[in-house]
Every structure is written in C-alpha cells, then in structure tokens.
Amino acid sequence: MKEILQRCVETVLPDRKGLEALLKKKKIRVYLGVDPTSPDLHLGHTIALRKLKEFEDLGHETILLFGTFTAQIGDPSGRDEQRKPLSPAEVSQNTERYQEQTAKILDFSKTKIRRNNEWLSKLTLTEVLKLASHFTISQLVERDMFQARMKKGGEVWVHEFLYPLMQGYDSVALDVDLEIGATDQLFNMLVGRKLQNIYHDREKYVLTVPLLPGLDGRKMSKTYGNAVNLLDPPQEMYGKLMTLRDNLIPTYFELCTSSAPPNLPPRDRKAALAKEIVALYHGRKAAASAEKEFVRVFQKKQAPSTVPSYSLTKKTALVDLLVAAKLASSKSEARRLVSQKGVKINSAVQTDGTKIISPGTEAMVQVGKRRFLQLI
C-alpha cells in the first residue's frame, strides 16, 4: 500500500495519510488525463501511466481520459507562448495513436477509456459562466508561465485562462477520488480539486509524479532530439538510451522501470537500463536483438546486419529523399538534420539538402548514428 504512494511520487495533496486511509477503506476511482496534442508518447509520459497501472493492478477503478476537447484549446502549462490550435481531425488521429501506445502499459479490460468532449462540448454558455465564477483573474494569472510571459511583453489569451477550468471540470464529470499527473499539471489538478468540492462537496486527492529529463538533461522534447518515443523501433530505442548522460542512469531506473540500478560500471549499467526499457515495450527477444545489434555497429564498428532498401523512380533532392524514405518526419526536420551534419552518404557528411540523387544510385545513407538506408 505504501509503495504505491512512495516510488515515483512527488507530492500527494492535501495529505498522504488521508489518501492512505482512504485506500485502506475502499476501492477508489482514479484517473489520468492526457491531451493528444502530438502523434507520439515518450518515456516521460510513461511515469504517470505506470502509476495508473499500479492502481489498476490493485483493483481500483481506473480511467484513462483523452483530452479530445481540451487538446483543441491547448494547455498553457510550461509554455512561453500560445499553443498552436489543433483541428478535430488532428485530435482524432492523435487519439488513435495514443490508444495504441498506452495499450503497451495499461489493460483496457480493466481501465476505462473516456474522452472529455463527451461533456465539455455539451456545456452551455450559462454553465461555462457559472464555472468561471468560481475563480478570479488574479488566481489564474498568478501561474508562473503567465508571469514570465508578461514580463517579456508576451500575451496571455482568454482561452488559456479557460483551459484549467475545462480540465478541472473533468474531475467533476468523472466524480473521482484521485487524479494522477506530472508536476507541471499541479495547478490544473488543484483547480479540479476545488471544483470537485464545489460541485460534489467532497475531497479529490492529487498525486503528482516527477518529470523525466531528456537524454541530455534538458526537458524531454522532440525539438531537442532528446526524447525516447514508445513507438521507436527496438534498435533505435536501445541506441538512444545508450546516449543517456551517466548521471541520469539512477533517475531513469527509478522513473522508467521497477528495478534498482545494478552495481556495475556506468556503461554496463546503461546497457542494462536500455535492455530493460526496450523489453518493457517490445519484449525480451527484441531487447536482446537490439543489444546484439548495438554491439555489432557501435562497438565492433561493423555494418548493421539488416538495412532497409529504397529505390528512386525520379531525380530527388536529398531532403525529399529523407522524408520519402521516412528517415525524417518532415522537410523541416530533414533540413535540420543536414544543417547539423547528421546525414551521410557512403560515410561522407552531406551539407547540401538540395543535392539531387538520381535513380539507380547505389549508396548507403546514414542519418544520425542509428538509421541506415541502402539506395538501390
């Protein structure tokens, strides 16, 4: 019982002892909300998901909530500028991808899936005004990111003030005992706690989990190229984790696994970590294969045992080739890879993204340290 409120737990509000007593008394209703604002989940998202899984395993009523309505507003948490609005079609597509990825952790025969457009899209203007009447502008504007924005002369938009109210109303609609979320969601979660008290006259506990730093110690972000995505292939996931800074190995063991770091040299501990995480999301066999391939390519300096092939049907610019062959997700990413000297052809660094590659060219294309493609 105590373990679930200790490992990977930053804060329990209003108090840990109260939640402990409630858990001993009855099975509770607990939820985790995620806004499908991008196609991919990364290891940072798994900390809260794994915590929800722990409650699932103990037989509590668990809910995974997809913020299909709030994703269209855009959570301002941790943002120094307004989020780009998403269309309903983009949100729907991302939700399908999220469901596929969260199924790697949760058992959907035990955990319910809900979508907050079920109730938020049905709120009348009168109901929204009533919801807003419970908070003052000074309460909402005190958020750190808003203060930082205004000091820089940036704007804070009215719909960003409404976001925590909408997310907070999820607690009311689901009538939960506990909400799980990362530390950057604390403000939104406490809004939900207040609303649960107002609408249902009862307590809602809040449990926060730590934020996972990226591989280089900065915030985990696709922009920084320091994220490990759940849908990364086993070899890529393993290779990324082997670039982890040594001082972060204990943190990753604690937040991403159920194990303690083994008493080994840093390189071997990192290899054990990479193998365990790959096994969690791809299976033991795939993890062993990824480890073997890493040793082959990066320690023995041999070519990968298998390299996908690609044939051109017309003259193609290098950046277009990278996108077509799925070595880059977009032209902008492809141009960034080239500018950062991350693209090689036959071991030669490429600096011109407009370089034309002709059909019939036989060459080995390498992107970064781990992605290879054989042109035929």
Domains of the chain, each with CATH number or no CATH: 3-209 (3.40.50.620), 234-299 (no CATH), 309-375 (3.10.290.10)
pLDDT of residue 376: 76
- pTM (two decimals): 0.80
- Residue 219 CA to residue 232 CA, distance in Å, equals 19
Report the percentage of the chain scoring pLDDT > 90.
Answer: 62
Residue matched to tokens 């005004």:
129
Residue 283's pLDDT band (boundaries 50, 70, 90)?
very high
Residue 320, pLDDT > 80, answer yes
Q: Is the pLDDT of residue 145 over 90?
A: no
The pLDDT assigned to 242 comes to: 93
b/e code 231-256 from CB counts within 10 Å (16+ = b): ebebbbbbbbbbebbeebbebbbbbb
Tell me the residue type at 84: K
Strands 348-349 and 11-13: unpaired
pLDDT of 323 strictly over 80: yes
Q: What is the pLDDT of residue 223?
A: 73
147 pLDDT band (50/70/90 cuts)?
A: low
Could you read off the pLDDT of 113-140 as tens digits, one per residue? 999 999 999 999 999 999 999 988 888 7
In this predicted structure, which of 87-91, 217-221, 290-294, 298-302 has the lowest mean pLDDT? 298-302
pLDDT band, residue 300 (cuts 50/70/90)? low
